[in-house]
Chain A
Amino acid sequence: MSERPMDLVLPVATGPTEPSVPTEPSTPRRYRSARARVVADRRAWVGAACVVVVMVIAFGGPLVTTFDPGGFVGPPFQRASPEFVLGLDALGRDVFSQVLAGGALFLTEVVLATILGVGLGTLLGIALAAAPRRVSEAMLTVNDTILVMPQIVVALLVLTRLGATPVTLTLVIGFVHIPQTARVVMAATQRVIAQDYVAAALGLGVGRIGLVVHEILPNIAGVVSLEASIRLAISAVVLASLSYLGFAASGVEWGRMIHDNQGGLAIQPWAVMAPVIVLGVFLIGANLLRDAIARALASHT
């Protein structure tokens, strides 16, 4: 035990005119946002490229088809030849032209269903998080009840009643996304609402809408975009599954090609493999994007 004259000799902090402490830089330091992390991630670019390539095929393809995708041009399951690069399908139609023509409607349905489902799910999720507890608990019970029903079964049930048209398919797939998305968004919103900056906004008199638009939405945008990329892939899988089960809108479409041509898999594999590969590239792309977003969000905190 030695003398501790500390309290006596220590000079007292004085005015701000004193040279300030060196650890406070006078200008902002560099900072990388989550978005910048995604952009810098090479795997995100590969994923985006996959998705874009498939989109170009789907939406540009119908313009460059060499044969009428619905027309009969030869015997069923004719193998690939210089004229028909991917051979012919079960009805003797050109597979290459079908791949080019069969994506526009498919992807439109997938994208619209995703936007619909994630959009409404996000609104519901925010409402669940912001509502008074009694209300949100009641809503949550309904939500979770729907959540436990298998998506594909619900979809099949509705489609059997209403019939499969592009509109019903989009609506059904979109709606089955809502409960899941709402759950995820609710959790994210609850985390944001607990932050002091939301209280600070309240203390400044920011209203409900301002709170959602300026405080909540920007801070759950990462989670919502992650959810959207997951839902995009699921939409494609569900739609392809429904087509495969026979619930496809009439006309040429990737999911339906897999269903119609499976009988000839041994003779003319391309009639099945071509749409499978295109769908596969799309799904892998969507998943790579999702992973990149998830990584950026994880390292962002």
Chain B
Amino acid sequence: MSDPTMALPSTRSRPTEVRGLRITTTTGGTIIPALDLRVDRGSIVGVAGETGSGKTTLGLALLGWQRPGLVRASGVVLLDDDDLGTLSGEGLRRIRGRRIAYVPQDPGTALDPAMRIRDALGEVLRAHEVTDHAAQLARIGELFGQVGLPHDAAFLARFPHQLSGGQQQRVAIATAFLLDPEVVVMDEPTTGLDAATKAGVLALIHDLARRRQASVLLISHDLRMLLAATDRILIMRDGVIVEDAPSTDLPRPGMHPYTEQLLAALPDPTAHRVADHGSTTGDGLALRGITARHAGVVITDAIDLVVAQGECVALVGESGSGKTTLARCIAGFHTEYSGSVEWDGRVLPHGVRERALGDLRTIQYVFQNPYASLNPRRTVGDTLAMAARTIRGVDRATATADAGRALDRVGMDRSFLAAPPQALSGGQRQRIALARALIAQPRLLVCDEVTSSLDVSVQAGIIELLMDLRRSEGLAMLFITHDLALVSSIAARTVVLQRGRIVEQGPTAQVLDHPDHPYTRMLLSHHDATQSRQPR
């Protein structure tokens, strides 16, 4: 307890409790049927589950809040003796921020873009009667010191857009701990952060929970991270907690089958299963001295890279290392580069518009975000049929037949042909995006973080599908990822990119087991840090 400015209330030892919580939609559907939960002070409880399992709904219920369209049908949320459900308006407002705080998923949208950092935090303090300017600054400075942010006047005068994603996340976390709350609910606080920043944020959360004796509810779909960073794990499915266990006990005998399934779906970083290099005949893709720029700023610096036919190469690096820009150069979506992109020794034009249909067919691209890569105004069938008609020039009837076959290939029911993308889950959308690329009968598939926006069990299915396709169709693949755990299960060769330069490349097993470059070692160590327990 190293906090001289605020005395800890005596109620600190009492756990937060949820009893018989039932949340339904206004139209009568059930989100959470009946839920009991106790969170002790100073402990970190992880909540895992797939999209739609009710984990965010539970987190928000702890704040006494239901999203529009949801109602609390019964049950109590007890913070000491106050039932948050019976409080309203002013009563809730006094509790929120001071005694219960929330870190929303996307720090970029959680911070008011028109407010300087010091004003945003000052407003929170002022709302809870810390009005003295010097006291506010002292408090902000203390917190920022703990989260590893500078707290000089210049930094505090910045606007959110002048901070990096990791800094924004730290500001959001500091804001949550500003008034020394008893309960902190964090919704996916590490999603979108690269490995190094993620490890820092987790260590910070851990430290703050211990030091401030706060109960932390950490919501995430990243089960691997939760296993490493929490004391206790709840696994939710359809609004029900199916598993509640100390995280050191997992996996354990007699665990719920769903837990088993989720754990089984985690990619295993130690399994070097890809030994075959495929049929690496012919030349395939060759990049020669690619220096890509964004508005004049150099993003990649003279990259040379070869992907032989039938070979799968992983391109690894942190966010901002230039992997996506490089991939977009290959596909012709990014044209501001010097150097050449060659296929079978032939130089391809820079822009996708200048490339011949044949060249477009050869290289197909699968995008990171399946929510943005399918036209929301076209059914799945239309999207696939249109792809067949434009790139292969087949007639309407053939295209329709092709669309059906493409669905079969990605393991989806043909009833999806008539569905709009909005009726599909993220994993299903990604399968459709894959099917669309396959319709072109490509020789090289460029996969840009294709699993990073998907739930872990869905991820496994997509990876499995990609590996099957690679084997059955002899596809070459450039697999871009920041997730080292995936690399070992898919790629024979790994290329590590740092700030636009290739710092290391070689067979995947060698790169992962005996990294040469300090940057690779750092990536691996951060990766390990989110897998094994934080030091206490």
Contact = CB atoms under 8 A, between A and B. Distances in A.
B391 A196 contact: no
A219 interface: yes
A214 B389 CA distance: 13
A27 B373 contact: no
Contact of B461 (A1, A11, A20, A30): A20
B191 interface: no
A132 interface: no
B376 A4 contact: no
Nearest to B380: A28
A162 interface: no
B348 to A, nearest CB: 13
A4 B489 CA distance: 21
Interface stretch (A153-161, A179-187, A200-208, A265-273): A200-208
B276 interface: no
A12 B378 contact: no
B214 interface: no
Interface in B7-29: none
B436 interface: yes
Interface in A155-205: 195-197, 199-205
Given A1-B536, A31-B420, A205-B360, A13 B391 contact: no
B305 to A, nearest CB: 20
Nearest to B260: A11
B378 A218 contact: yes
Interface in B519-536: 531-533, 535-536
Interface in A104-121: none
A81 interface: no
Interface centre among B267, B357, B390 (most CB of A within 10 A): B390
Interface stretch (B86-94, B205-213, B411-419): B411-419
| Size range of the chain A interface in the assembly | 35 or more
B458 interface: yes
A24 B411 CA distance: 12
B270 interface: yes
Contacts of B463: 13
A13 B273 CA distance: 11
Interface in B374-390: 374-378, 386-387, 390
Interface in A206-222: 206, 210, 214-215, 218-219, 221
B387 A21 contact: no
Nearest to B224: A6
A199 B419 CA distance: 22
Nearest to B262: A21
Given A30-B423, A31-B423, A203 B353 contact: no
Interface residues of B, number: 74
Contacts of A10: 251, 263-264, 266, 268
B292 interface: no
A29 B423 contact: yes
A12 B420 contact: no
B391 A2 contact: no
A9 B268 CA distance: 10
A215 to B, nearest CB: 6
A140 B533 CA distance: 57
A2 to B, nearest CB: 4
Contact of B369 (A22, A26, A196, A205): A196
B331 interface: yes
Contact of B425 (A2, A23, A215, A218): A23
A191 B418 CA distance: 26
Nearest to B373: A196
Contact of A24 (B364, B425, B489): B425
A8 B365 CA distance: 35
The 10 nearest A-B residue pairs measured at CB:
A28-B419, A218-B377, A196-B373, A28-B423, A21-B457, A13-B460, A31-B423, A196-B367, A23-B50, A196-B372
Given A4-B533, A202-B352, 8 more contacts: A13-B464, A21-B265, A21-B457, A21-B460, A23-B53, A31-B423, A33-B422, A196-B372
22 contacts: A2-B533, A6-B251, A10-B268, A12-B268, A13-B264, A13-B489, A16-B468, A21-B457, A23-B52, A24-B427, A24-B428, A33-B420, A196-B373, A197-B375, A199-B352, A199-B365, A200-B367, A202-B333, A202-B352, A202-B353, A204-B360, A214-B386
Interface of B: 50-53, 227, 248, 250-251, 258, 261, 263-271, 273, 331-333, 352-353, 357, 360, 364-365, 367-369, 372-378, 386-387, 390-391, 411, 413, 415-416, 418-420, 422-425, 427-428, 433, 436, 440, 455, 457-458, 460-461, 463-465, 468, 489, 531-533, 535-536
Interface of A: 1-2, 4, 6-16, 20-31, 33, 195-197, 199-206, 210, 214-215, 218-219, 221
